[in-house]
Amino acid sequence: MKILVLGAGVIGTTSAWYLRQAGHEVTVLERRERAALETSFANGGQISVSHAEPWANPHAIPQALAWLGREDAPLLFRLRPHDFALLRWSFAFLHNCLPARTRDNIRAIVRLALYSRAQLQHLRQTLSETADFNREYDGLQKGILHIYTEREAFKRAIATSRLMQNYGLEREPIDAETCINIEPALAPIRHLLAGGDYTPTDESGDAHRFTQALAARAAAAGVSFHYNAPVVGLELHGRKLQGVTLQDGRSLKADACVLALGSYSAPFLHPYGIHLPIYPAKGYSATLELENGTPAPSVSLTDDTHKLVFSRLGNRLRVAGTAEFNGFNLEINPTRCQALLQRAGTLFPDLRYSGDPNFWCGLRPATPSNVPLIGQSKLPGLWLNTGHGTLGWTMACGSAAALTDLMAGQKSVVAFPFL
Ligand SMILES: Cc1cc2nc3c(=O)[nH]c(=O)nc-3n(C[C@H](O)[C@H](O)[C@H](O)COP(=O)(O)OP(=O)(O)OC[C@H]3O[C@@H](n4cnc5c(N)ncnc54)[C@H](O)[C@@H]3O)c2cc1C
């Protein structure tokens, strides 16, 4: 088939790779000058099946209320009375906080993320036959350690770990001492740690470098990438997709099209009467150039209470997380940036870095459940691979592989609520 992939973030690029491997003629259309310059640019760097618990869970509401009005809150809802998309999204979010919904969402995410991690490992093995692909993106296979500085949060996490274990994930609750054995850089805050849980099979790395390296391999394998090519509309015959129109007026024909525009997927489809439940959830990161010999973590960490992650990327440390619901606003808020550094300073009091931190923000394409939208849309010929929220890199390879099967008319091996 002749397939157009819209968007070259981590989702569009992995889609292009898997579709090409299946023998299709693939063209990627991206409005920016290279791949992965938007949300996939400076994220938390985790391949974290262990992070499958969505924001929408029974504890989210009291937590969000406690943070209300705080500019540095880990989860910040800005009141936007005329933003009906946010209102609709928030009601659906509340519905997903019900215990049964949360359990179903965790099950779907764990299954897809486990499949995805296995696909990534296979991909890395295949691509490392010619060069060390892992090194190209600062990949680390040292697991992910969740730490808890509040006793209640740790107790709740034990129940979540048990649930994820039932779905096949190796996530073990551990005491503070074991956390320090796994990551000695935590030793100075032994007194703060209530406990943790460790998933040795999770991974970390630089999602931006991964996507760019994969795009280069995909191009070498015959995928055609068109950069600086904003797509402005779909071309339909009745309801059937025929192709797309670019901003410069060009029209490209195709047998099928994969929509992977991240947060922009929803506004892109509005004119066609399709209302995707995706809202941009803004997150921040700070990337620090570490000084030689500084005590910094090398195991990727999740600080659950503060909704932050810490990933070692070569000689850099990435601190990332928090969420703000404020439309498509991409301004950098200094208070939220300082909150990242403050927490890094609390957890790693002896950390030394050179130069100014590199601050960045991006818009997670968040569904209320954090379950992505993968499969055939209401328009024949238009397929969706979008809405990956907090776990886009974690679920990328699996989503792309599953989509490739679905587009070939086959059943995916993953038990997941595809569209
Ligand atoms: C602070 C933060 C931390 C995170 N940490 C992690 C983590 O540790 N692990 C993890 O798995 N996930 C993490 N995520 C989530 C992850 O980064 C996202 O889910 C993922 O990047 C989404 O990828 P995407 O390809 O859907 O979107 P994007 O990367 O945004 O790609 C969409 C692409 O579409 C292009 N585009 C948009 N409109 C058009 C148009 N009209 N025409 C052509 N092109 C267009 C854009 O330019 C962009 O390149 C984090 C996110 C944030 C913000």
Residues 352-391: pLDDT tens digits?
999 999 999 999 999 999 999 999 999 999 999 999 999 9
Here the tokens at position 311 are 């990933």
**pLDDT at residue 337, rounded to an integer:** 94
**Ligand 1 site, residue 212, Cβ cutoff 6 A:** no
Residues with Cβ within 8 Å of 130's Cβ and at least 6 positions away in sequence, in order, are none
Which atom of ligand 1 is nearest the CA belonging to 394?
11
Smallest Cα–Cα separation from 159: which of 99, 97, 115? 99
Pocket lining: 398 vs ligand 1, CB cutoff 6 Å:
no
Written as six digits, the tokens of 133 are: 């692909």
What burial class does residue 251 get, using C-beta atoms within 10 Å of its C-beta: 0-12 exposed, 13-18 middle, 19+ buried?
A: exposed
Pocket of ligand 1 contains residue 46 by CB under 6 Å: yes
N-term to C-term CA, the chain? 21
50 in ligand 1 pocket by Cβ < 6 Å? no
Q: Look up the CATH architecture of domain 59-105+136-203+279-366.
A: 2-Layer Sandwich (3.30)
- Pocket-testing residue among 41, 43, 269, ligand 1, by greatest number of atoms within 8 A of Cβ: 43
Distance of CA 32 from the midpoint of ligand 1 (Å): 13
Q: Is the CB of 391 under 6 A from ligand 1?
A: yes
Q: How far is the CA of 29 from the centre of ligand 1 (A)?
A: 15
Q: Is the CB of 264 under 6 A from ligand 1?
A: yes
The H-or-E segment that residue 157 falls in is: helix 151-166
Contact of 251 with 335, CB cutoff 8 Å: no
DSSP state letter for 384: E
Helices vs. strands in the chain: H and E counts, helices first: 11, 20
Q: Give 398's contacts (C-beta < 8 A, 6+ positions apart).
A: 112, 113, 114, 115, 116, 117, 118, 119, 414
* Spans of the chain, pLDDT less than 50: none
Can you tell me the distance from the alpha carbon of 328 to that of 275, in angstroms, rounded to the nearest whole number? Answer: 17
Q: Is 52 touching ligand 1 by the criterion CB < 6 Å?
A: no
Cβ atoms within 10 Å of 4's Cβ, excluding its own: 27
What's residue 77's pLDDT?
A: 81
Instruction: Give residue limits of the domains in the chain.
Output: 59-105+136-203+279-366
Closest ligand 1 atom to 281 CA:
53
- The answer to whether the CB of 112 is under 6 A from ligand 1 is no
Six token digits for residue 227: 């950069």
Identify the pLDDT of residue 67.
Answer: 82
How far is Cα 267 from Cα 6, in angstroms, rounded to an integer? 14
Identify the residue whose tokens are 């070569």.
Answer: 314
Instruction: Tell me the H-state helices in 167-254.
Output: 176-182, 207-220
pLDDT of residue 66: 83
C-alpha distances in Å from residue 105, one per residue of 101, 255, 281, 373: 6, 33, 18, 13
The confidence score (pLDDT) of residue 270 equals 96
Compute, in angstroms, the gap from residue 258 CA to the centroid of ligand 1: 15
Q: What dihedral do alpha carbons 410, 411, 413, 417 form, nearest 10°?
A: 140
Atom number in ligand 1 closest to CA 268 = 41
Mark out the alpha helices in 9-98 (DSSP H runs).
10-21, 60-67, 84-95
